[in-house]
Amino acid sequence: MNYRPKKVKGVMEVLGQQELKQRKLDGMFLNIAKEISTMSHCQRAKVGAVLVKDSNIISFGYNGMPAGMDNCCEEASTTGGLVTKYQVIHAESNALLKAAKMGVSTVGTTMYCTLSPCKDCSKLIMQAGVERVVYLELFKRDEGAVEFLSKFIKVQKHDK
């Protein structure tokens, strides 16, 4: 009788598998955020955000005008380009507001964003109890928002 002990997975192997699984989930939810960003009517930047709890999407948002307003997000600037209207609500804020409107708790969630959150969205994310933010690209006017947010919750850029 040959007795062969079952192969016991080492702690590092299990952790590696968990990290791989999380990385795959991160990629999937970021792809969903990219798809949601296509709903935006903004011309200069289309941004999407997805709020996830226990691997389930609880809310999502994209940048755009408040409900009931014209969906034109930009206006001509005096220098000839386009400038974003002050009324535009960012994708992250829209995702948080939608959850609040539906009475869904955002405590302990992960937010997936196509761009890193700005300063104002970072404050809202923190206050809403989001535990982790994963983003694809750094917001061009970051102004230290990622550094600020990283002091309080886990923030990471997703490497493709």
Q: Which two tokens stand for residue 53?
A: 């709890």
User: How far apart (Å, rounded) are the C-alpha atoms in residues 22 and 133?
Assistant: 13
For residue 16, what is the enclosing H or E element?
Answer: helix 11-37
Phi (first) and psi of residue 82, to 5 degrees: -110, 145
Q: In this predicted model, which residue has the larger pLDDT, 108 or 145?
A: 108
Q: Is the pLDDT of residue 3 over 60?
A: yes
Interval 58-104: pLDDT, tens: 999 999 999 999 989 999 988 888 998 999 999 999 999 999 999 99
**List of residues 6+ apart from 124 with CB closer than 8 A:** 92, 93, 96
Instruction: Over range 42-48, report the average pLDDT.
Output: 93
- pTM for the full predicted model: 0.87
pLDDT at 133: 98
Q: Could you list the active site residues?
A: 92
C-beta separation of 110 from 92 below 8 A: no
